[in-house]
Structure 1
């Protein structure tokens, strides 16, 4: 650790003990390894996966079997460094890329480190997340942010990275016509990214009139209720940010031949798809699993004013109120909740 910085020995952290059971625990402040930095957490966004762990105690094969700190959308200030890290980093404001890859497997070596089989990802059992006063991360996963970027926006570089990865997978570029299902935070940031990438038509569908009403403020050129047919449309790419089977099936017919379909939203494990249509139009269908090498672009887009993440934040909470933060999505008008550990 950097000797110039006085770090407490203990810290507070919100712990998920089991399904529907949270407490604020007292833990040792983590000590950074040689290649790590210690970060005083400033802001942590609440993701749907956090809420799912709270309400279900698991996501697929990942089961909460011991106290788990949730939260993986985080920002903060470096307050100490490991012995292998330049001490000049102390004091840097950073956005945290919340993962640790092995760096030596086939996927890591070809740059697809998000597919590393040994990935350790924040708030995915048994790896703790960032609803805590301090966290550690490898130094190169702590990305410096300019003073013009707020702590909240720095935390939301994580969902922005999902939107960037989805648009890259969808081949969105200048003049693209894009259909997005789902006007939640991921759908809205994806729309903003599509606009920044040069898409000229960005259509968003949702079942919530309230969310559709704000979609135009986040890049959409057209907002449609999910009950309206989109089959007569012709788009270059369809990005599903809803995870809803009916929305996915409704969106696919709008994609032109050789177009792309990208599945981002988490839904059912199995889905019935129009295979004949996929074959006859030679459509590309892929999923999105997190992201890789997106943070530099995310920071540039926000710093340049091409993407507005602060506009997504509607509610803030402290560590003692994480349960309400996890349930904030039920509040009318809510988009993105933020936990501030030092609040």
Structure 2
């Protein structure tokens, strides 16, 4: 549904007019009615205003799966989102109708050892927007727990609010790798996640950041948004040694922390070889489900290999980085589409093509 024709009348009328983008099959998205669950005492109803497309959404769109998450029945897609509170549950005190909020898309169980230990992103019962079998956020209205909706300051737009989700991946990676003003950084991959990891690392004080990619268009964009050095490499699997030398020359000193935001055997091998003894390599991207890596020499140089899965407790910090101007995500939003049938599949195709498309955003 476009911007016109939306009713703000009684609850029933709204339920009838709520529409969402349903993934029905390979590369098949249809805007269809979406009946919401009733609003619980601790929930809010949010009118979606900005929804971004993520790499995992594109995987679902193109392959009906992402990693071990397989789409087995029609599903509402999307999880990078922000909107305006339309209704609050009876127990909600922190938010009110009209508040602009960014939504954290995962609802954990709160009962398991991971949740109780504060690592709720590892919860096995996690219900995550647009990850099968949980319906997502590309809809006119959604119902979500109030404690996962974060109020946006006046100087942070709804689009920037939706960008808190990908930015959270970079912030969590920097937390895990303990990035500080002494940390010299290498980032493999200048796609959306490589770029938000770069912005986060800079906000954490990293003095030198080098980005590596095969695509010169992406590299010039990375330079434009703040990389100190960019290095173009080839897809040839044999030239790891050559690339490591290039990287070490560019950094001008040892690499303290490498982030692999691609996730292939080759990118990870380069990162492990380019990182100084005693440094850290954080695997962020999941390009391959299995890799073959030079782990024996890595162990001999005491390099810590760190994994990350999504994020936890990152929204307040992301919003503060945006509010204070320490991070500017606006240049990353390169394409905008309306929430109408003619544009939904086109938006996903645009995101899938990559190239000059960094972040594709729906304005609802």
TM-score by length of 2: 0.89
What CA deviation, in whole Å up to 9, does each residue of 1:179-237 have, x standing for no partner?
00110111111111111111111000011100100112323110101236134622100
Match among 35, 58, 67 for residue 28 of structure 1: 35
The count of corresponding residues between Structure 1 and Structure 2 is: 338
Match among 231, 236, 254 for residue 256 of structure 2: 236
1:300 and 2:320 matched: yes
- Residue range with higher mean Cα deviation, 317-326 or 143-152: 317-326
Cα 1:125–1:88 shift into 2, 3 Å: closer
* Aligned equivalent of 1:112: 119
Q: CA deviation at 1:303?
A: 0.7
Tell me if the contact between 1:85 and 1:139 (Cα under 8 Å) persists in the aligned partners: yes
Tell me if the contact between 2:264 and 2:291 (Cα under 8 Å) persists in the aligned partners: no
What CA deviation, in whole Å up to 9, does each residue of 1:263-306 have, x standing for no partner?
11111111011112211111111211000011110000011111
User: What is the rounded CA distance, in whole Å, between the counterparts of 1:79 and 1:5 in structure 2?
Assistant: 11
Q: CA deviation at 1:113?
A: 0.4
Q: CA deviation at 1:87?
A: 7.9
User: What is the rounded CA distance, in whole Å, between the counterparts of 1:277 and 1:137 in structure 2?
Assistant: 47
* Aligned equivalent of 2:285: 265
Which aligned pairs between 1:244-259 and structure 2 lie closer than 5 A? 244-259=264-279
User: What is the rounded CA distance, in whole Å, between the counterparts of 2:95 and 2:227 in structure 1?
Assistant: 42
Which aligned pairs between 1:1-343 and structure 2 lie closer than 5 A? 6-7=10-11, 8-10=14-16, 11-86=18-93, 89-227=96-234, 229-231=243-245, 233=248, 234-319=254-339, 320=341, 321-329=343-351, 330=353, 332-340=355-363, 342=364
Q: CA deviation at 1:9?
A: 1.9
- Residue range with higher mean Cα deviation, 297-306 or 244-253: 244-253
User: What is the rounded CA distance, in whole Å, between the counterparts of 2:217 and 2:264 in structure 1?
Assistant: 18
Q: CA deviation at 1:36?
A: 0.8
What CA deviation, in whole Å up to 9, does each residue of 1:41-68 have, x standing for no partner?
0001100100100110112332111111
User: What is the rounded CA distance, in whole Å, between the counterparts of 1:187 and 1:271 in structure 2?
Assistant: 20
**TM-align CA RMSD:** 1.6
Tell me if the contact between 1:31 and 1:38 (Cα under 8 Å) persists in the aligned partners: no
Tell me if the contact between 1:18 and 1:65 (Cα under 8 Å) persists in the aligned partners: no
Q: Secondary structure at the match of 1:44?
A: strand
Q: Secondary structure at the match of 2:72?
A: coil
User: What is the rounded CA distance, in whole Å, between the counterparts of 2:55 and 2:151 in structure 1?
Assistant: 26
Tell me if the contact between 1:19 and 1:54 (Cα under 8 Å) persists in the aligned partners: yes
TM-score by length of 1: 0.95
Q: Secondary structure at the match of 2:243?
A: coil
Q: CA deviation at 1:261?
A: 0.7
Between structures 1 and 2, the one with greater helix share: 2
User: What is the rounded CA distance, in whole Å, between the counterparts of 1:325 and 1:210 in structure 2?
Assistant: 20
Cα 1:171–1:70 shift into 2, 3 Å: same
User: What is the rounded CA distance, in whole Å, between the counterparts of 2:299 and 2:61 in structure 1?
Assistant: 40
What CA deviation, in whole Å up to 9, does each residue of 1:295-333 have, x standing for no partner?
110000011111111111111112222211112132642
Cα 1:49–1:43 shift into 2, 3 Å: same
Tell me if the contact between 1:207 and 1:225 (Cα under 8 Å) persists in the aligned partners: yes
User: What is the rounded CA distance, in whole Å, between the counterparts of 1:324 and 1:160 in structure 2?
Assistant: 24
